Amino acid sequence: MTSSAPLLDTIRNSPDTARLLAAFEFDIERKSSGAGLRLASGAPLEPIAGDFTGGAYFLCAEEDGGGRRPVVFASSEGQGGLIADDLASALEIIVGLEWRACLGYSGGGDVEVMQASARHLERRRARDEPDITEDRVRIAAALSLRVPPVADLVTHLHQAAARSEPDYVVATEDGETYGPLFGEYTEPRLGGWD
């Protein structure tokens, strides 16, 4: 895996790539969204991007000499946790999967429910956003990312989110901890999957 710094530099230095990523709700101009958050252990978090709803993406302290830094997400609704072991893997998930909805409709963290949710979400997204595949390929090429199958992305996301406790629990400056990223529902409450 690659170091986070060169990948972030590439995004910062490529307005087209940054604009495309912002459409996938990874906006490097919104990194102030998570000001004041840290890990429950007291370890600092480095904000790197935000989404349209006030959520924020963070890099954790380096895990090894190779520059791999886990990526944590904190929503504006009070859920947070680990989404990937490094930035490249996080971006593959962010671009390749409607990951927040997939976690939200996970039946409390059941990977099979997440797989079913991902299939429904991808069908809907392909219908509503006909250029989605082309945009994913453009981002992957610009950042030297892989374009893994959705089922693989779901598995990686589930494995990461399941490891949020105890090391990647998000907390406020006052010590209030965020809830898990896994939602309890298996499908949208109103109308189900269309």
Residue 140 lies in a domain: yes
pLDDT of residue 32: 77
Residue 177 lies in a domain: no
How does pLDDT run along the chain (194 residues), one tens digit per residue? 446 889 999 999 999 999 999 999 999 999 877 788 999 998 899 999 999 999 999 999 866 556 689 999 999 999 999 999 999 999 999 999 999 999 999 999 999 999 999 999 999 999 999 999 999 999 999 999 999 999 999 999 999 999 999 999 999 999 999 999 999 999 876 666 66
Residue 31 lies in a domain: yes
Residue 134 lies in a domain: yes
pTM to 2 decimal places: 0.94
Cα separation, 65 vs 70, whole angstroms: 13
Residue 178 lies in a domain: no
79 has which bridge partners? Answer: 179
Residue 182 lies in a domain: no
Q: How many Å is the maximal CA-CA distance in the chain?
A: 49
Domain count, the chain: 1
Cα separation, 106 vs 70, whole angstroms: 22
Residue 183 lies in a domain: no
pLDDT of residue 5: 86
Cα separation, 169 vs 180, whole angstroms: 8
Residue 112 lies in a domain: yes
Segments forming the whole domain that contains residue 121: 4-171
